[in-house]
Structure 1
Amino acid sequence: MSFLINSGMGENLPDIITFFGRFHPIVVHLPIGFLLLAILAQFSTKWPKFSPLKAFVSHLWGLGALSALLAVVFGYMLSLSGDYDEETLFLHKWSGVVVLITSLLMFFLSKKYENFNKIILSGLVVFLFGTLTYTGHLGGNLTHGSTYLLEYAPNPVRELAGLPPKAIPRKKVTTLDSADVFLDIVQPILDKKCVSCHNDSKKKGDLLLTSHQLIIKGGENGDIVIPGNTESSELFRRITLPEEHKEFMPTEGKRPLSETEVELLEWWIEHGALSNGIVTQLNPEKETLATINSYLGLDKNNIFNKVVLPPKKELLDSLKQSGFVFNRLMRDNHYLEANFSLSENAISNSIIDSLLQLKDQLVWLNLSNVNLKDAHLQKIGELENLVKLDLSRNAISDNGIEHLSKLINLESLNLYNTQVSEKVFDIVSKMTRLKTIYLWNTKVNDSVLKQYQSENKTLKVIFERDSL
């Protein structure tokens, strides 16, 4: 059984082992389901009306034992990566083995000894249920961290569990003069996007991101942050790789850092990766200052700092029937993303009229390839809260785009594969918040584009297919 003790082969682990090991989170649900059904059936047969279940009990125990064996094997393979807290992993591994042995014993007893001592049998079932629950809890700790389950529990519950009281949250920043560069900007970004995989219970790459000291310490491959040098900082390289790259962070299935979050981490590293310091004392440039203000919710003109009322359900239902797909963008507000590009219907004036009733809530709108015309854009230009607008693959021209000049909150405009020309630059110059515009496969002249880019560094113009 020594193979169950030695783990942590790390980077020398063959890919095939990692491949099968990652099936553990899927397979592990099978023994939970089968064994819970077996436990329920085992106790139910005490009542005459459930006696027909006796014919199935041994089969359930057998399926539970077989799937538990698969879960143990795949779990062992996964443990070899060495990315987990050793003590918790040890307990999880061996409690899983106990579940396997007990379920095999129950299968054997139910198959061969139907008249086995009922008290001992009931005791084994209760023991198995407790061990199964404990094993699952440890697995959750390995995946999400040991405090995940009780992270938001009231302090009396935390005290019973042996956890310290909840930390008093930092006061909300009200002015930049009170904003700490690490505690109010960097650490919250890492906590939100990175710490779930790099904490005390789950140390991917032997890397912890729970404090400044541990960030600077780095992981198994050395330093991840080189103060003053983003190009040599592994952390920055990982978060700016293409999402499909195998080394991209966060890993697949987790939400990547936003452009704003990447910009702020880049600025922090370039300015020495400080452990503390008031933002205003670091003399950030005007653009960086605006980004920090926006991130901290101090920009009064930022649309996301305003609270909007929920939309009418009847209106949303009607638009959904027309072909719209809606996503709520914020948990504590009612801003919406609307996507019509997946609809089989063409856009119409009546649909746009209905959409105007969401002008307060609508901030992202995708009207790609919906047979949009210049005339439609007059009403689209009334959606004053739009931040992101995709009009690609439509036969629209400069005349239509002129109607959008009043969209003062617009930050991203996609005009790929439309009929706009270089005249569009005169129009978008009125959009003071515009950061990105997509102009590949349009009538924009290449030389005019290059001249415009040289004169306007703040607007990112995407003029090639790979960037779409």
Structure 2
Amino acid sequence: MNSKSLLTKRKNIFIKFRYLFLLLGGVLLLLPTISPGEVPSNLIVFLGRLHPLVVHFPIVLIFLALFFELITKANILKVTSNIIGILLGLGILSCLGSLLFGFFLYYTGEYSGDTLYQHYWGGVFLTVLMALTLFLFLTYQKEKSERSYWFYFLALFSANVVLVYTGHQGGSLTHGGEYLTQFLSKEKQTQIIWEPKPIEEMLVYGDVIVAFLDKKCMSCHNENKSKGGLILTTYEDLVKGGKGEHATLIPNSSEESDIFRRVSLPSNDDDFMPPEGKPPLSQNEVLLLKWWIDNGADPNLRLTEASSNPEIEPLLSVYLTELEQDHRRRFYEKLTTESLIQSLGDPTNFELKIDPFDEKSVSLSMTFPPTKFGDTDLIGLKTLFPQISKASFIGSDITDNGFYYIGQMASLNELYIQQTQINGEGLAYLSNLEDLEILDLSKTNISNGNLLHILRIPSLKEVYIYETNISKEIIEAIQENRTDLKLHLERGKLF
């Protein structure tokens, strides 16, 4: 069979099934009118998450068709019309597959908003345009006229333009609206340049001691959480000390200063700080702390003065290199987190704050006075799910269906969901959260049976059930099974 008869047969097949394509296209056009399910089945979630994999096929096929057409036109390499025709046909089929799996992903409710609809309609238009491109390609193969070729080429080129637009919208859904352009403008570039502080302006306490206390101690010793009554956020707080019988800081005497004694004890000592599970101070950091205390613990001592001291100069030269690298890393981590927060616009029903002790972490809380915040509002926060370490939904409209999304906040450490209408059915979705330690269910409709779901959260340490109807028998049963888990019947802290 010659090439001409093959093309004729291909065209006849396309014409024969054109009504099927129209019917399928009509169904796809109706898909956005179907609302996402409240809690999608596991099969729907699985199929939906195939979309990011399948969507790469039309990207490659459509780009290749244009690339082969260009190099053939430029006489660089001769690519047969059969190959280009196959690429166009497979391109249409892969577009249809991407739309179908994309709808399943939309149906899970994991994505929503204007960007989603722009991405979807871009995919629909791309599929229609590819069908037109194939039709014009077959027409050109039959007529072999210059006019029909340029109609076909214009359609193929337009399909690639739509492909770029649709792909960008898809990337914006996953990474945020400014993911592609955030480093292009000169204005943004001036914001992302990190410049180290001049050494002549640096202080031993403010720029060195505070740096490692901030990194390894202040998460447990700050205004909101002061273990042992000790706060380390300011020099005055450090001097004031905590509730212990030993003074926290005694200038000129590291041996009598409890802060040095604690960090220099053997790691298996009960008084050693930080506690197990937290990174301890390095040997250099311990020696720097000792030197600073023994030399007066002056908060205004400049680094240049300390560097001239032969006792401390070798330690500083090593530590300053590490400190500069750490400052640079934290600067860009904070910049990335700020960019993600800014991509959400200016919300009125919730607040987001970057953790001052971990620039990758974000705390989420409801605004006051409270405004409506429900399960669907969680979907819009999806790009920040990996960063959310603390979440407070006190008094919100969150239901048990919302736990499906909360369970995707992989870094979640504290969850406050007091005064909501939950009954605990959705707590099972939290079983994969490896860092969740605090859960407050006070003043909710949590039932005895549903509370047992907390036994499947191995990292959980504290659960508050103040003013709930949990029976004494269930409390005793949980405590027997999880001796490491503390159930509080009193009111917890508000966050």
TM-score range, shorter chain: 0.3 to 0.5
Higher relative contact order (CA 8 A, sep 6+): 2
Normalised by the size of structure 1, how large is the TM-score?
Answer: 0.41
Indicate the structure with greater helix content.
Answer: 2
Normalised by the size of structure 2, how large is the TM-score?
Answer: 0.39
Q: Which has the larger radius of gyration?
A: 2
